[in-house]
Copies of this chain bind each other. A is one copy, B any other.
Amino acid sequence: MYTTAAALAVQTHAAARPIDHACRRAHVYSRRHVQTLHVQLQERSYPILIGPGLLARASSFAQLTAGAVLIVSNTTVAPLYLPALAGTLAGAQGGRRVIPVVLPDGEIHKTLANAARVIDVLVANRLARDCAVVALGGGVIGDLAGFAAACYQRGVAFVQVPTTLLAQVDSSVGGKTGVNHVGGKNLIGAFHQPCLVVADTDTLATLPPRELRAGLAEVIKHGLLGDAVLFAWLEQNMEALLAREPQALAHVIRRSCEIKAAIVGRDEREQGERALLNLGHTFGHAIESATGYRTWLHGEAVGAGLVMAAALSHEAGLLPAADAQRVARLVARAGLPARAADVSAAAALEHMRIDKKIRDGQLRLILLRAVGEAFLTADYPPSALQRTLQAHCA
């Protein structure tokens, strides 16, 4: 039960004029519902393909000219999709060299040591600068493989084949790559844009429910930071998403990629506007870091982080209580935690301090003026942050 696709198109286009200029749909294969968006970054521009069955279709990778590819995946995803993708990339005549690297699954394995392991395989196989690294998996694999691609020979081609909702709506787009440090998340990384993103929506069929919900946190974030129409659509259609209705999922993937691609196209290196995409993330990273990346999925921590960002915005007198409640309600309906019961407020604050967004010693946060309107600020009462953490942490 969700609004029809035609109605959606009208809604989102009406609301999204400032965003759409940076995206254009080159092809719409009506039969198989493949959509193509473009991230516009001059010589680093690239297409995002969204649709079913893309993994197994040679045409998805037609633009890839690399003579050899390294596929980086994990022990969960590889058994499901690596053989098909490797076959597609090898080509009908098996003309392309395809080398797999399978890492253990989980955020705890997003380490410099594992990025170095990927580079070791690139070196051991003598892959030259004209090779490509292909990430097959969720955000962890995409971030880690992208960082290895950024560093190997000072940068080789990189392709994202995201297989989780979170990666399809967020992490595979925009070129942020990196690994975690024991002192904080993504403290080691690079900006390295992919040359192609292939989001095969069929892969969501095998996604565990918890991972699906984690991905929805980033979709809620996209609505909250810049598209009130998307946020309202989510309030109407959350059940369709949780039931994995294909059209509903395709809609939020496309809309999320459009929003993110537009922002990245205007501010690739996070000099300004791009920081808005961190809404909820400073809280979320602190939760993940304080719990050693072991118990919370990234998207779950972002879900709680969105609730905290809205609560702080209200505490600071910026956001009406009703809007903060809308956020908490939608996050709850997505089946995401709204509190961090296993992290003390003091520990959360401590971990927030190492966050990359500190400048001149002052912690800058993305706060909300309304649903659909976020901004970066260090101008909030420290006591409001304290109260927010005390209310949402242990």
Contacts and interface: CB of A to CB of B under 8 A. Distances in A.
A359 interface: yes
Nearest to A124: B183
A117 to B, nearest CB: 11
A124 B183 CA distance: 7
A97 to B, nearest CB: 11
Contacts of A354: 123, 126
A188 B129 contact: no
A154 B178 contact: yes
Contacts of A182: 123
Interface stretch (A55-63, A145-153, A203-211): A145-153
Interface in A171-200: 176, 178, 181-184, 186-191
Given A67-B360, A153-B356, A188 B119 contact: yes
Contact of A129 (B124, B353, B359): B359
Interface in A130-183: 130, 150-155, 176, 178, 181-183
Contacts of A357: 129
A236 B382 CA distance: 68
B360 A154 contact: no
18 contacts: A112-B112, A112-B116, A116-B188, A119-B181, A119-B187, A120-B181, A123-B354, A124-B183, A126-B353, A128-B356, A130-B360, A150-B190, A151-B151, A151-B188, A154-B190, A154-B356, A155-B191, A190-B190
Interface of A: 67, 112, 116, 119-120, 123-124, 126, 128-130, 150-155, 176, 178, 181-184, 186-191, 353-354, 356-361
Q: Which 5 A-B pairs have the closest CB atoms?
A: A123-B183, A128-B358, A154-B189, A153-B356, A151-B188
